Amino acid sequence: MQPLSGVKVLDLTRIVSGPFATMLLGDLGAEIIKIEEPVSGDESRTYGPPFVNGESAYFLSINRNKKSCAINLKKPEGIALIRELALKSDVLIENFRPGTLKKFGLSYEELKKQNPGLIYCAITGFGQTGPDSHRPGYDLIIQGESGVMDITGDPDGPPTKVGTSIADLLTGQYASQGVLAALVERSRTGKGRRVEVAMYDCLASLLTFNAGGYFATGNTPKRKGNSHPSIVPYETFETLDGWINIGVANDKFWNSFCKIIDRLDLQNDPKFAMASDRVKNRLELLPIIREIIKGNKKSHWIGLLEKAGIPSGMIKNVGEVCDSEQLISRGMILNMPHPTAGIVKNIDSPLRFDDLNDEVHVAPPILGQHTHEILSKVLKISPDEIKLLEEKGAIKCANI
């Protein structure tokens, strides 16, 4: 049995941050009822190319282990159905703009009157309060506003966003963590809780030592490319046939590194002997090291560095990672049969319990795939009533 078996989550989210949060909970065994607009569903279903037999690869990457229930929030019957589902759920997660669900009578304050144990998680771009609370949250915008883009990229180049949707994904992780904490608390008190997660807050929390440096000195950090502000050498170096990362993280590693590159004079030079000295004199030291590393191939340096125990690694592309023996051997690549897309591959959750990775995962659903099942089994609605609701445009049931 999985850790969250028996927990029912009503998923009123779309695009990335919310769906990623509910997918993480689904990976842990929760039943995820994904509510989608009946005509086109979650917006991310349209994101592409690439598409696989009409299914967006983007959508397929963040919606496994869910049941799609297509309900129209613009119809009073649809609102009533969602309210009934909320009253039978342990958790509700939504990522509408602040105040949107209140207009439909689906606010936490309304729902907790009849379901006091409900955990209600609201994901927003900038939070429920503050001067920016009205603004929508999109990953690119949040990366810029949070300071992350300003400290990412080449010092002489433009601000650069992280190559994945880090604001969305981190927010999803924080949201799932908040829900898990609320579930633990409810096991003691029997009472639910409102959990709020803002994308802006989440990404700002990653500033850590960058913010610490500002608080300590009043000076805002500057972009340093792939180098580290407090450790030298700790960055990306070019070799004869490509790039590698080298992390000489302490004086022990430095002494070994100097032997590998056959430069004991650097080891004994008082300008570079201590970690703090190497940081102060980075502009003199790094050109020397770059010239040395450039004189041989990747495999040469990685072999020597690994043998000496010095942190190092290749710069792999996404394909190399997805096909890597390390991920495959750990069961991190999922293969899930899908009604129309064939075999859908995902990278699995990194969590392991008792060193096991034998959970059965279900491919992302097609739009409305489980509407009939949810309404009949959870809400006990008869087939004739379901048919009538579909005729009124309140729901959509997929035929597969």
Q: Is the peptide bond before 233 cis (omega within 30 degrees of 0)?
A: yes
Residues in the chain: 400
- Catalytic residue (one of 42, 139, 168, 358): 168
> Count of CB atoms within 10 A of residue 55's CB?
22
How remote is the C-alpha of 170 from its chain's centroid? Answer: 5
- CA distance linking residue 215 with residue 142, whole number of Å: 22
Residue 221 CA to residue 145 CA, distance in Å, equals 15
C-beta contacts of 109-114 below 8 A and 24+ residues apart: 111/83, 111/86, 111/87, 112/192, 114/87
Count of Cβ atoms closer than 10 Å to residue 110 Cβ: 15
Q: Can 168 be counted among the known catalytic residues?
A: yes
- Residue 18's H or E segment, with its range, is helix 17-27
| 187 exposure class (CB count in 10 Å sphere: 0-12, 13-18, 19+) | exposed
Closest among 107, 36, 106 to 76, alpha carbons compared: 106
Distance CA 390, CA 400 (A): 16
Structure tokens at 42: 């979650």
Q: Residues with catalytic annotation?
A: 168
